[in-house]
């Protein structure tokens, strides 16, 4: 019996083969039949007159007829109207006069009649019947008051009491069932929608992977061809192929971003970044959009902007890039201006939050007032008829809106059609280094001459000599060991390198060599940096192990990590890629021994000699003259990071090109059970790429690492192939560059 009831409910109430209105009607018929049957039995045992019993029997017969009409003949619309007219406009008013009138429980049933109308009718008909029913109810009340004799009243107080009780039960159960039914339907539809969204996201991820893999090859090989000596016609054709490939890649990336945002799988990846570099690189990237248009572009930079901020640099660049490219695309002639400022900067300090604001103004075609409301809607383009010749998918502004919201910021627009637009983006960012850009850097940015400022600043850095010192570097990625050793070399210490925490523990326990400091990678397979330091501090019973300075090296530059590492036994914290100025400060604080310098090495600790100092500008000029030597690598910044020593940087590049393929082989196959190992390996690739100033590869690795840590296997599998291909193209470009240089 119970199984039959369940099957009946599943077939007629929850079956998706029946439209929602039909299922709602079936629920109303079922509830009404049960209510009428219950009322009929109560009236029978009360000894009420035959009229009340007859009305209840009529309701049951009518309900059964409507059920057959709706479900056998699929006449759901007609059945709904007949049900409303019969129940709400005929039977319930009749019940009102035969069942005690206003003194009975009928007011509850009359309320239920209004609910029923809104449940089963739609559109203007629903509104009309609801108003008609309310007028009818008011008429019943007025007639019962004007002509009391029309109402058949209860013969006893107990009958009236029972009628009120049954009305409360029946109406309560009815409304409760309807609400429960709607909740169940909502949850089912929500689950289906989420499954469909996930399926769409996975489909787009797979499709984008299938498209991007050959597309990356097309773009990469095209870049290589453009570096050859081509005739003018061939070069123009190749440039068009390359530009078209990049446009297509941008569209695919936008589609994937929107899909991730819609499915709730979009992750921000905050890092420490140079505000000046972010502005400079994005502006330079977009200057090509001006082409031959008579457009005057100007840049205004607030000199108070902190030099280093913490946030998702890649997504901030993406927003700025979308808005700037739109400004250039939709402006045929006139002006485009970018103003970058900061707000809430009363007392800047590390760890404080400021509002990073940029405003893009143009004198382009503008936006109509009626279009502004749908400007940030995905898959939507405004004024399509007049903008057919302008490339775009209608996704860029939607992505900007979602990104700004995810970051806790906002985007707004002011526009006058035919005169231009102004987009304002405000993003909260955390201050890492409160030192402002200053007027020199700001003016150089505005004059588009910022590229070599960082090199000139690093030339001023004067290094001390640590030939008396010995340091240990611990990292599971050989490339990272080479980078760290190369950056330490100008100071002159003896540098020992090991690839595991266990090996570091053994060296400290044996104490055959006395180390003045340990530079310890955080994320390593097996024994990570934190566990290694715990063993050194707590399980090696020596004063040396308890007090040796340990500096954490990590690519996870989260604000607050310094406190975490200090609590775990580290003395200091450096982020990858290692900044030479911060490395200088750490060595000065934890390794340098001024007393030993005075006693035994009178020349140690002095700045680099005249010969070395003279060599630095030459190396810097070499780097500056060859910034585009390797596609995907900032050669000038890499040389600067190595203390303007080009030979050291070339060794690091050789190490990267020779050792990266082995790391890529480890991540070619990734499954759910290997995501943990994948995250560790891709973390190492991220640090190594940042170390040689291959920032785009580093950012791509960072995105994959974040997805792996979130357990997002679909995103990892979708992007992994194209990442490996791009990394292989990078190593090939480095190898060709190194082979082309005189030995």
Q: At 551, is the secondary structure helix, strand, or coil? A: strand
The pair of three-digit structure tokens given for residue 265, joined into one six-digit string = 């799988």
Assign 224 a pLDDT band (cuts: 50, 70, 90): low
CA dihedral 674, 682, 322, 718 (to 10 degrees): -30
Choice among 58-62, 65-69, 565-569, 660-664 with the minimum mean pLDDT:
58-62
Tell me which range, 145-159, 268-282, 526-540, 631-645, is most confidently predicted by mean pLDDT.
526-540
pLDDT tens by residue, 434-492 = 888 888 888 888 876 554 444 444 444 446 788 889 999 999 888 888 888 888 888 88
The pair of three-digit structure tokens given for residue 256, joined into one six-digit string = 């994937």
Q: Of 242 and 283, which is predicted with more confidence? A: 283
Residue 577, preceding peptide bond in cis (omega within 30° of 0): yes
Choice among 104-108, 129-133, 209-213, 642-646 with the minimum mean pLDDT:
209-213
Maximum C-alpha span of the chain: 122
Question: Is pLDDT of 40 > 80?
Answer: no
Q: Given this model, what pLDDT does residue 43 score? A: 66
Q: Hey, what long-range contacts does 164-172 have (CB within 8 A, 24 or more apart)?
A: 164/104, 164/105, 165/105, 166/38, 166/39, 166/42, 166/105, 167/104, 167/105, 167/106, 167/108, 167/109, 168/105, 168/108, 170/35, 170/38, 170/39, 170/108, 170/109, 171/108, 171/109, 171/111, 171/112
CA–CA distance, 177 with 181 (Å, rounded to integer): 6
Question: Is pLDDT of 126 > 90?
Answer: yes
Q: Given this model, what pLDDT does residue 220 score? A: 64
Q: Given this model, what pLDDT does residue 133 score? A: 93
CA–CA distance, 601 with 297 (Å, rounded to integer): 56
Q: Of 496 and 74, which is predicted with more confidence? A: 496
State phi, psi for 380 to the nearest 5 degrees: -135, 130
CB 445 within 8 A of CB 284: no
Question: Is pLDDT of 155 > 60?
Answer: yes
Assign 238 a pLDDT band (cuts: 50, 70, 90): confident
CA–CA distance, 132 with 138 (Å, rounded to integer): 10
Question: Is pLDDT of 287 > 60?
Answer: yes
pLDDT tens by residue, 412-436 = 999 988 889 999 999 999 998 888 8
pLDDT tens by residue, 714-726 = 888 888 888 998 8
Question: Is pLDDT of 536 > 90?
Answer: yes
Q: Given this model, what pLDDT does residue 265 score? A: 66
pLDDT tens by residue, 499-532 = 999 999 999 999 888 999 999 988 888 898 999 9
Q: Given this model, what pLDDT does residue 599 score? A: 66
Choice among 105-109, 625-629, 670-674, 702-706 with the minimum mean pLDDT:
625-629
Q: Of 40 and 665, which is predicted with more confidence? A: 665
Q: Of 623 and 258, which is predicted with more confidence? A: 258
- In the chain, pLDDT over 90 holds for what percent of residues? 20
Q: Given this model, what pLDDT does residue 263 score? A: 65
The stretches of 427-553 forming alpha helices (DSSP H) are 438-446, 453-459, 478-488, 501-510, 529-538, 543-547
Q: Given this model, what pLDDT does residue 545 score? A: 92
State phi, psi for 497 to the nearest 5 degrees: -125, 135
Q: Given this model, what pLDDT does residue 602 score? A: 46
The stretches of 287-312 forming alpha helices (DSSP H) are none
Q: Nearest CA to 636 among 627, 645, 644?
A: 627
Choice among 250-254, 593-597, 657-661 with the minimum mean pLDDT:
250-254
Tell me which range, 23-32, 83-92, 292-301, 499-508, is most confidently predicted by mean pLDDT.
499-508
The stretches of 539-666 forming alpha helices (DSSP H) are 543-547, 561-567, 580-590, 594-600, 610-625, 635-641, 646-666
Question: Is pLDDT of 603 > 80?
Answer: no
Q: Nearest CA to 269 among 306, 310, 305?
A: 310
pTM: 0.47
The number of residues making up the chain comes to 743
Q: Where are the beta strands (DSSP E) in 259-381?
A: 271-274, 295-301, 306-311, 334-343, 353-362
pLDDT tens by residue, 358-372 = 999 999 888 888 888
The mean pLDDT of the chain is 81
Question: Is pLDDT of 316 > 60?
Answer: yes
Q: Given this model, what pLDDT does residue 473 score? A: 95
The pair of three-digit structure tokens given for residue 253, joined into one six-digit string = 């990336």
């Amino acid at each position: 019996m119970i199984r039959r009831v369940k099957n009946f409910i599943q077939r007629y109430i929850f079956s998706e083969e029946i439209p929602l209105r039909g299922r709602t009607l079936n629920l109303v018929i079922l509830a009404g039949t049960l209510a009428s049957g219950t009322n009929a039995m109560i009236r029978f045992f009360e000894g009420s007159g035959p009229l009340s019993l007859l009305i209840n029997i009529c309701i049951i017969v009518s309900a059964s007829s409507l059920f057959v009409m709706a479900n056998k003949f699929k006449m759901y619309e007609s059945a709904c109207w007949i049900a409303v007219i019969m129940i709400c406009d005929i039977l319930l008013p009749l019940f009102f006069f035969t069942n005690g009138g206003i003194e009975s429980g009928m007011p509850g049933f009359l309320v239920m009649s209004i609910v029923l109308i809104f449940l089963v009718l739609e559109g203007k008909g629903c509104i009309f019947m609801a108003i008609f029913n309310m007028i009818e109810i008011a008429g019943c009340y007025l007639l019962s008051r004007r002509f009391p004799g029309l109402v058949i009243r209860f013969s006893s107080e107990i009958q009236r009491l029972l009628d009120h009780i049954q009305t409360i039960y029946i109406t309560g159960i009815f409304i409760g069932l309807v609400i429960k039914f709607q909740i169940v339907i909502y949850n089912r539809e929500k689950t289906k929608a989420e499954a469909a969204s996930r399926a769409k996201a996975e489909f787009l991820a797979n499709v984008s992977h299938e498209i991007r893999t050959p597309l990356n090859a097309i773009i990469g090989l095209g870049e290589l061809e453009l570096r050859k000596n081509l005739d003018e016609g061939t070069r123009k054709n190749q440039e068009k192929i390359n530009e078209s490939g990049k446009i297509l890649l941008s569209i695919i990336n936008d589609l994937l971003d929107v899909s991730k945002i819609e499915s709730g799988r979009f992750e921000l990846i905050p890092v420490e970044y140079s505000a000046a570099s972010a502005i400079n690189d994005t502006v330079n990237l977009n200057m090509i959009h001006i082409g031959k248009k008579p457009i005057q572009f100007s840049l205004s930079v607030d000199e108070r902007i902190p030099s280093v901020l913490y946030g998702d640099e890649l997504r901030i660049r993406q927003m700025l890039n979308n808005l700037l490219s739109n400004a250039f695309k939709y402006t045929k002639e006139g002006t485009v201006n970018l103003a970058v400022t900061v707000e809430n900067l009363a007392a800047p300090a590390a760890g404080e939050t400021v509002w990073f604001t940029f405003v893009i103004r143009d004198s382009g075609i503008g936006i109509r007032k009626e279009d502004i409301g749908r400007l940030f809607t995905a898959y939507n383009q405004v004024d399509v008829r007049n903008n057919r010749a302008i490339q775009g998918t209608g996704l860029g502004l939607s992505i900007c809106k979602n990104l700004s919201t995810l970051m806790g910021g906002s985007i707004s627009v002011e526009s006058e059609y035919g005169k231009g637009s102004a987009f304002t983006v405000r993003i909260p960012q955390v201050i890492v280094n409160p030192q402002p850009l200053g007027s020199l850097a700001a003016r150089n940015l505005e004059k588009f001459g910022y590229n070599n400022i960082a090199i000139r600043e690093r030339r001023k850095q004067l290094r001390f000599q640590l030939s008396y010192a010995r340091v240990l570097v611990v990292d599971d990625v050989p490339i990272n060991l080479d980078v760290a050793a190369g950056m330490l070399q100008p100071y002159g210490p003896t540098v020992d390198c090991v690839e595991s925490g266990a090996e570091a523990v053994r060296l400290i326990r044996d104490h055959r060599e006395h180390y003045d400091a340990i530079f310890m990678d955080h994320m390593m397979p097996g024994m990570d940096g934190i566990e290694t330091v715990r063993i050194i501090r707590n399980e090696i019973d020596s004063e040396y192990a308890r007090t040796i300075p340990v500096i954490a090296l990590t690519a996870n530059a989260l604000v607050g990590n310094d406190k975490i590492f200090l609590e775990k036994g580290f003395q200091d914290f450096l982020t990858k890629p290692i900044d030479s100025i911060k490395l200088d400060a750490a060595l000065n604080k934890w390794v340098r021994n001024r007393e030993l310098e005075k006693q035994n090495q009178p020349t140690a600790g002095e700045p680099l000699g005249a010969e070395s100092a003279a060599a630095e500008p030459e190396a810097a000029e070499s780097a500056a003259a060859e910034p585009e030597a390797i596609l995907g690598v900032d050669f000038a910044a890499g040389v600067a990071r190595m203390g303007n020593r080009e030979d050291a940087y070339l060794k690091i590049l050789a190490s990267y090109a020779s050792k990266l393929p082995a790391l890529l082989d480890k991540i070619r196959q990734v499954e759910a059970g290997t995501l943990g190992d994948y995250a560790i390996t891709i973390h190492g690739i991220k640090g190594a790429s940042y170390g040689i100033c291959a920032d785009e590869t580093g950012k791509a690795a960072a995105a994959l690492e974040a997805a792996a840590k979130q357990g997002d296997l679909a995103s990892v599998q979708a992007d992994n192939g194209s990442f490996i291909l791009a990394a292989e193209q990078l190593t090939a470009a480095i190898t060709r560059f190194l082979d082309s240089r005189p030995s």
